[in-house]
Amino acid sequence: MTRGAVLLFSFLLSVSLPAQRSLKSISASEWINAGPMLGYVHMKEAHLWIQTKKPAEVAIHYRPLGSNQNWTTTEVIKTESKTANTAKFVLDEVLPGKVYEYKVFVNGSQLNFPNSLTFKTLVDWRFRQDPPEFTILAGSCSYFNEDIADRPGRPYGGDYQIFEKMADMKADVMLWLGDNVYMRPIDFGSRRGFLHRYTHDRSYPQLQRFLQTGSHIAIWDDHDFGPNDANGSYVGKVWAHEAFRLFWANPPLVQFGCENSIASAMEFNDVHIFLLDNRSFRTEIMNNGQHQIFGREQLDWLINNLKYSNAPFKLVCAGGQMVSDAKVFENFANYEEERAYLFRRIEEENIKGVIFLTGDRHHSEVCLMTNRKGNKIFDFTTSPLTSGAVTKKVEENSYRINGSLIQQRNFLALHFSGKQGERKLQAIFYSSDGDKLFEYTIHQKEL
């Protein structure tokens, strides 16, 4: 081979190898800190969240599962350290009731994940068929240990296999009911602290398969918001709001007056879900009797939505217990005037099918209230997922359903089934090892 030919061959080899490397798929663990995670999904779009370990250019390719169609490609988003290397994509070239497969590309290379990546859009069922059967999971109080930030002694978090059991259920939606992360004293005094806590906790290995299963929607409570029992006067709430928006792909958030909130609402098949903000407008319990958790504007927004809704089951998510009459800790019962207003308005408007989903308490239970119009109002409290459970005697609560008290780590599964007009909700609490702990069934006609 002549010297010129050798030089030409060497040049072609040098330019072709990088091209080959760019087409080669690589392990997701090299680039991905957490996710991908499906957030809000409807009939014509799905929202997808992901976090890289360092700045990168990320894109999603997707198409109907099992088809030979060309892949639809999203815009390329460059993750940046200033926003914790997070990215949110809107996949809007989709049709109702379809399953889609997708791929993640980083810097032009496809990433290999241990699990197949798919999502399903909502079915356009009205006037065509009965509502689909589906499952929603719920839970609160997820503590992820970190030696450098935790108190000395026995770790507070544990039983992380609970997320594997939840992933095994292949549920359609997960509702994170607050205290989804626990800000430590080294976190809640700075923006960087908030971003670090979310980044650390979201990266837990046992969590990843679950994040890739179904749609994940969240509210918050005090530990996501800042210090323990924090109220709306907390000066770091601007960091809390920013971190929440960066790390969750919720439906559009509502603003009340000039204040931001994490309140929102969405439908999932024939269920309507309302997401309340129990921190941004909360005040301390004042001696003058003027105190609140949600504020009148947010409660009126909720009542207006509940009145409009024709869903047989209206799931209202709040960080703390709503129905319980025990005036302990941060329960709604401590805020007598606001609590009376909400339940009076539900009764006056003859709103049926209200089911609160709550967390916070480090125990689980089911509460049932029947108002003067005969309408039942339920409160399913589910707590904790991985933080410590309360094992001592729990306070008296006249609305607690006998046998429903659970004092160990657990999660809640809500199974919706039946023909239109005859829908049924089967609620089952499971242990961190996937064992049934308590079961309760609600028929649409009894509400």
Question: Using one digit for the tens of pLDDT, what is the confidence trace for 164-176?
Answer: 999 999 999 999 9
Last residue of a domain, which of 64, 94, 120?
120
Looking at the structure, do residues 152 and 201 belong to the same domain, yes or no?
Answer: yes
Looking at the structure, do residues 34 and 182 belong to the same domain, yes or no?
Answer: no
Domain membership of residue 46 (yes or no) is yes
Looking at the structure, do residues 245 and 279 belong to the same domain, yes or no?
Answer: yes
Q: Report whether pLDDT(6) > 60.
A: no
Looking at the structure, do residues 109 and 165 belong to the same domain, yes or no?
Answer: no
Provide the H-helix boundaries in 203-295. 205-211, 222-225, 237-247
Q: Report whether pLDDT(18) > 50.
A: no
How large is the average pLDDT for residues 373-401?
97
| Structure confidence at residue 23 as a pLDDT band (50, 70, 90) | low
Looking at the structure, do residues 278 and 408 belong to the same domain, yes or no?
Answer: yes
DSSP letter string, 152-195: SSS-S---TTHHHHHHHTT-SEEEEES-SS---TTTTTSHHHHH
> Can you give the pLDDT at residue 288?
77
> Can you give the pLDDT at residue 16?
40
> Can you give the pLDDT at residue 258?
82
| Structure-token match 């709604």, residue found | 332
The β-bridge partners of 52 are: 32
Which helix H or strand E contains 444, and what residues bound it?
A: none
Domain membership of residue 12 (yes or no) is no
> Can you give the pLDDT at residue 284?
93
> Can you give the pLDDT at residue 4?
47
Q: Report whether pLDDT(354) > 80.
A: yes
Looking at the structure, do residues 169 and 59 belong to the same domain, yes or no?
Answer: no
Looking at the structure, do residues 233 and 168 belong to the same domain, yes or no?
Answer: yes
Looking at the structure, do residues 242 and 283 belong to the same domain, yes or no?
Answer: yes
Looking at the structure, do residues 289 and 143 belong to the same domain, yes or no?
Answer: yes
- Rounded CA separation 209/113 (Å): 10
* pLDDT tens-digit readout, 394-424: 899 999 999 999 999 999 999 999 999 999 9
* pLDDT tens-digit readout, 277-328: 999 999 998 877 779 999 999 999 999 999 999 999 999 999 999 999 999 9
Instruction: Give the CA-trace dihedral at 249, 319, 434, 137, to 10 degrees.
Output: -40
Q: Report whether pLDDT(1) > 80.
A: no
Domain membership of residue 351 (yes or no) is yes
Domain membership of residue 106 (yes or no) is yes
How large is the average pLDDT for residues 216-239?
98
Number of domains in the chain: 2
- Rounded CA separation 358/325 (Å): 14
Q: Report whether pLDDT(364) > 60.
A: yes
Share of the chain above pLDDT 70, in %: 94
* Mean of all residue pLDDT scores within the chain: 95
Q: Which of 10-24, 49-63, 77-91, 183-197 has the weakest average pLDDT?
A: 10-24
Last residue of a domain, which of 120, 147, 166?
120
How large is the average pLDDT for residues 159-188?
98
Task: Return the CATH number at 100.
Answer: 2.60.40.380
Last residue of a domain, which of 96, 120, 144?
120
Domain membership of residue 95 (yes or no) is yes
Looking at the structure, do residues 254 and 350 belong to the same domain, yes or no?
Answer: yes
Contact present, 306 and 354 (Cβ < 8 Å): yes
> Can you give the pLDDT at residue 11?
42
> Can you give the pLDDT at residue 285?
87
Name 41's Cβ contacts closer than 8 Å, sequence gap at least 6.
47, 119, 120, 121, 122, 215
Largest CA distance in the chain: 98
Task: Return the CATH number at 242.
Answer: 3.60.21.70
Q: Report whether pLDDT(426) > 70.
A: yes
- Rounded CA separation 362/33 (Å): 29
Domain membership of residue 236 (yes or no) is yes
Contact present, 265 and 305 (Cβ < 8 Å): yes
> Can you give the pLDDT at residue 43?
99
What is the CB neighbour count within 10 angstroms for residue 135? 18
Domain membership of residue 14 (yes or no) is no
* pLDDT tens-digit readout, 28-64: 999 999 999 999 999 999 999 999 999 999 999 999 9
Looking at the structure, do residues 79 and 200 belong to the same domain, yes or no?
Answer: no
End-to-end Cα, the chain, rounded Å: 87
> Can you give the pLDDT at residue 22?
44
* pLDDT tens-digit readout, 234-261: 999 999 999 999 999 999 999 998 889 9
Q: Which domain holds residue 301?
A: 134-446
- Rounded CA separation 261/326 (Å): 27
Domain membership of residue 1 (yes or no) is no
Looking at the structure, do residues 189 and 111 belong to the same domain, yes or no?
Answer: no
- For strands 376-381 and 354-358, give the pairing: parallel
